[in-house]
């Protein structure tokens, strides 16, 4: 009887430990938070920011150009002088580029962030892969490649949000499998 009770209790404990809800983090490059390092501006350039970011649908995220080089995403402070955008490669990066423009950046035509539908800017998986949103026209088995991971794998198709622990399909050399998401960065 005790053995059966122990097995049942162990099963419930393993199920409750295995399902850790995905954390949602709002990336704020101008503010140090417990979840992201303090950003250091290592380069200042003059350029243009003429459209919303293609990597994240967020009202303060821009796509900027400096001498034909594209910086995406770049973030504009919601207050103060709106002629400066901070461009950073990932939520884990420390170094950023500041783009100065000659006009006020106006976000009012940008789509607002909807975390229930938008693809996150970056994902951290339970297997410790860090994956960044990409613009790609490539696909695997008819599913678009939406993320490149530091392991060399890619994430395809939608982010599945039907459970508290989000998942996504991860394509590796060995094949495609479902991966659990620890943190989704927006």
CA distance 88 to 70: 12
Q: Is there a domain that residue 127 lies in?
A: yes
- Residue 11 is classified by DSSP as H
Q: Is the pLDDT of residue 100 over 80?
A: yes
Residue 8 lies in a domain: no
Neighbours of 36 (CB within 10 A): 20
Q: What is the pLDDT of residues 41-98, one digit of tens each?
A: 999 999 999 999 999 999 999 999 999 999 999 999 878 889 999 999 999 999 999 9
Does residue 18 fall inside a structural domain?
no
What's the structural domain count of the chain?
Answer: 2
Specify if 3 maps to a domain.
no
Token pair belonging to 152: 């060399």
Q: What is the pTM of this model?
A: 0.85
Look up the domain containing 133 and give its range. Answer: 122-185
Distance, CA of 84 to CA of 74 (rounded, Å): 9
24 in a domain, yes or no? no
Of 170, 70, 55, 52, which is closest to residue 119 (Cα–Cα)? 55
Q: Are residues 129 and 180 in the same domain?
A: yes
- pLDDT at position 18: 62
Residues 72 and 126 grouped into a single domain: no
Residue 172: inside a domain, yes or no? yes
pLDDT over 60 at 3, yes or no = no
For residue 15, name the pLDDT band (cuts at 50, 70, 90). Answer: very low
Q: Are residues 126 and 84 in the same domain?
A: no
**Is 63 part of a structural domain of the chain?**
yes
């Amino acid at each position: 009887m005790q053995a059966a009770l122990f097995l049942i209790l162990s099963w419930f404990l393993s199920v409750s430990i295995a399902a850790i809800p995905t954390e949602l983090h709002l990336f704020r490059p101008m503010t140090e938070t417990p979840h992201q390092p303090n950003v250091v501006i290592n380069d200042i350039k003059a350029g243009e920011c003429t459209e919303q970011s293609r990597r994240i649908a967020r009202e303060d995220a821009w796509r900027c150009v400096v001498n034909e080089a594209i910086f995406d995403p770049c973030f504009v402070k919601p207050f103060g002088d709106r002629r400066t955008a901070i461009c950073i490669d990932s939520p884990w990066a420390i170094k950023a580029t500041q783009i100065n423009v000659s006009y006020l950046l106006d976000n009012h035509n940008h789509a607002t962030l909807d975390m229930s539908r938008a693809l996150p800017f970056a994902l951290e998986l339970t297997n410790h892969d860090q994956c960044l949103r990409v613009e790609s026209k490539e696909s695997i088995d008819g599913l678009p490649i939406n993320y490149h991971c530091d392991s060399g794998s890619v994430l395809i198709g939608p982010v599945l949000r039907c459970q508290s622990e989000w998942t996504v399909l991860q394509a590796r050399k060995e094949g495609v499998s479902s991966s659990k998401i620890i943190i989704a960065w927006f």
